[in-house]
Amino acid sequence: MIDEARLHDFIGKMLGDLGGASSVAMVRIGDALGLYKTLHATGPITCAALAKRLGLNERYLREWLSHQAASGYLAYDPLTATFALPAEQAMVFAVEESPVYMMGGFDTMAAMLDNQPKVQAAFKNGGGVAWGDQAGCLFCAVARFFRPGYHNHLVPHWLPALDGVVARLEAGAKVADVGCGHGWSTVLMAKAFPKSQFIGYDFHPGSIEDARRHAQAHGVADNARFDVAPAKQLPDKDFDLVTCFDCLHDLGDPSGAAAHIRSLLKPDGTWMVVEPMAGDRLEDNLNPVGRLYYAASTMVCVPTSLSQEVGTALGAQAGEARLSELIGGAGFRRVRRAAETPFNIILEARI
Ligand SMILES: C[S@@+](CC[C@H](N)C(=O)[O-])C[C@H]1O[C@@H](n2cnc3c(N)ncnc32)[C@H](O)[C@@H]1O
């Protein structure tokens, strides 16, 4: 027996979901053509005026603007036939430094769709998809997705939540940022603590090249350098601080990496592990953030880990208990949750 009311509710939900999916291409066009930033700068504007200003085809633009208004992304005033980007929507689509800038999320959705054939095949053969073989510029998308969180939280909130770490960074510390990707976390820390030395490591050479470019562009090349290295073979030691941003669960052998990191830390050093926010049980993660992370985990994190030796495949939603157990198993005697946001948990591990 079909319950008509429940069917009605579910169809309503699916319309919302399909609408969201339809927004991936539309939002990325708006980003690539500078539409959101222009709308943010101009205030309410007609389609013709916006088309003229950006040199775009008015017919296409009218359709795009209509979609954006139907989505609630733009406000439409029928009296003046103008479209406007409300301040709250601007924080999501136009203001790159905002804590809720989400353009990287849309890029990640596009990269995940590109990746579908490879991951789908892996469902049958059980193999992995190497990080460097992921379709599209997944690396750029992921870096862009995480950057607003790091920009707004890392220096003002997360580092101060660690015991004694800021004082050491201010005095001059040696820091490894493992699995640094495009190096935004490394660059932010290097900028904030010029007396400290930062080395970003990642096994993906393309990401390390990008990280070097970012360090140059942001004027931190003197105290931040980047090397290609797998997390279990870091070619340096005596670190005051080691950081892992959203990468521990991607490693093939996170336990092996944890033991290696422990061996490279000074006895009073700190390991800072930033991981996706997750509860310990599946039923704790049946929410909008869990939904996004389980998708990313299926399409990116699990295949990345399974493509490497050991292939632990922790998954993006490992949860604090599982992470603490793994970190403790590597010889860290104290592990605690130092901070959190809706998207991340920040663990502090000490020897
Ligand atoms: C989700 S990305 C996070 C990148 C970066 N930390 C950030 O927050 O933007 C995961 C990173 O882990 C790196 N990675 C995966 N397995 C690795 C390994 N075994 N050794 C070193 N890096 C690894 C990938 O190349 C990728 O840059």
Longest dimension (CA), the chain: 70
Which residue CA neighbors atom 9 of ligand 1 most closely?
143
Q: Residue 111, CB half-sphere, CA atoms under 13 Å: how many? A: 26
Task: Write the secondary structure of the chain as one string of H (helix), E (strand) and C (coil).
Answer: CCCHHHHHHHHHHHHHHHHHHHHHHHHHHHHHCCHHHHHHHHCCEEHHHHHHHHCCCHHHHHHHHHHHHHCCCCEEECCCCEEECCHHHHHHHCCCCCCCCCHHHHHHHHHHHHCHHHHHHHHHHCCCCCHHHCCCCHHHHHHHHHHHHHHHHHHHHHHHHCCCHHHHHHHCCEEEEECCCCCHHHHHHHHHCCCCEEEEEECCHHHHHHHHHHHHHCCCCCCEEEEECCCCCCCCCCEEEEEEECCHHHCCCHHHHHHHHHHHEEEEEEEEEEEECCCCCHHHHCCHHHHHHHHHHHHHHHHHHHCCCCCCCCCCCCCHHHHHHHHHHCCCCEEEEEEECCCEEEEEEEC
Tokens 């004082």 — which residue? 167
Tokens 């495949």 — which residue? 313
Write the CA distances from 34 to 20, 29, 53, 91, integer angstroms: 20, 8, 11, 15
Which residue CA neighbors atom 17 of ligand 1 most closely?
251
Question: Could you tell me the end-to-end alpha-carbon distance of the chain, in angstroms, rounded to an integer?
Answer: 59
> The whole model's pTM is what?
0.94
Distance CA 258, CA 87 (A): 43
How many angstroms separate the alpha carbon of residue 40 from the centre of ligand 1?
34
Ligand 1 pocket, CB under 6 A:
131, 142-143, 146, 179-181, 184-185, 202-204, 207, 230-231, 245-247, 250-252, 304, 308
Distance CA 26, CA 29 (A): 5
Specify the length of the chain in residues: 351
Low-confidence ranges of the chain (pLDDT < 70): none
- Please give the pLDDT value at position 127: 94
Distance CA 189, CA 174 (A): 12
Which of ligand 1's atoms lies nearest the C-alpha of 145?
Answer: 9
Task: Write the secondary structure of 94-124 as one string of H (helix), E (strand) and C (coil).
Answer: CCCCCCCCCHHHHHHHHHHHHCHHHHHHHHH
Which of ligand 1's atoms lies nearest the C-alpha of 147?
Answer: 9
Distance CA 11, CA 261 (A): 49
Which residue CA neighbors atom 13 of ligand 1 most closely?
179
How many angstroms separate the alpha carbon of residue 73 from the centre of ligand 1?
32
Distance CA 178, CA 284 (A): 29
Which residue CA neighbors atom 25 of ligand 1 most closely?
204
Measured at the CA of 305, the angle between CA 293 and CA 203, to 5 degrees, comes to: 110
Which of ligand 1's atoms lies nearest the C-alpha of 181?
Answer: 27
Which residue CA neighbors atom 4 of ligand 1 most closely?
181
| pLDDT tens-digit map of 291-321 | 999 999 999 999 999 999 999 999 999 999 9
- Please give the pLDDT value at position 43: 98
Residue type, 289: V
- Please give the pLDDT value at position 140: 87
How many angstroms separate the alpha carbon of residue 247 from the centre of ligand 1?
5
- Please give the pLDDT value at position 315: 96
- Please give the pLDDT value at position 335: 97
On whether the CB atoms of residues 176 and 142 are closer than 8 A, the answer is no
Mutate to test the pocket of ligand 1, among 202, 251, 310, 317 (most ligand atoms within 8 A of CB): 202
- Please give the pLDDT value at position 132: 86
Which residue CA neighbors atom 26 of ligand 1 most closely?
181
- Please give the pLDDT value at position 155: 97
Shortest CA distance to 231 belongs to which of 198, 186, 200, 197? Answer: 200
How many angstroms separate the alpha carbon of residue 230 from the centre of ligand 1?
9
- Please give the pLDDT value at position 291: 96
How many angstroms separate the alpha carbon of residue 61 from the centre of ligand 1?
38
